[in-house]
Amino acid sequence: MATDRKELVRGLKYELIALPLVILAPILITIGYKAIKQQNNYIWIVIGIGLAITAIILGFLGIKIILNAFFNDKE
């Protein structure tokens, strides 16, 4: 039972893409709430929620790919 290195690297790439989104999404959501109060501008909160959903999806996909790389028997 060997680790599939190509799949492991692919899963880590997904996780590395999701990491900045996890940091950026709450910041944009906070900016969006302040923009709603001041200018009735909803664009920042929509972008922040979109990035948060994308980060969650990429995070789960990355974890799934990594676990398949470790525990999947292809023999």
pTM: 0.86
Write down the pLDDT at residue 3: 81
Q: How far is CA 70 from the centre of its chain?
A: 21
Helix (H) or strand (E) holding 35: helix 5-39
Write down the pLDDT at residue 75: 52
Distance CA 54, CA 7 (A): 21
Q: How far is CA 6 from the centre of its chain?
A: 20
Q: Specify the DSSP class assigned to residue 42.
A: -
Write down the pLDDT at residue 74: 64
Compute mean pLDDT per 10 residues along the chain, 75 residues long, and list them.
86 96 96 91 94 97 94 70
- For the CA atoms of 39, 43, 47, 48, what is the dihedral angle to 10 degrees? 20
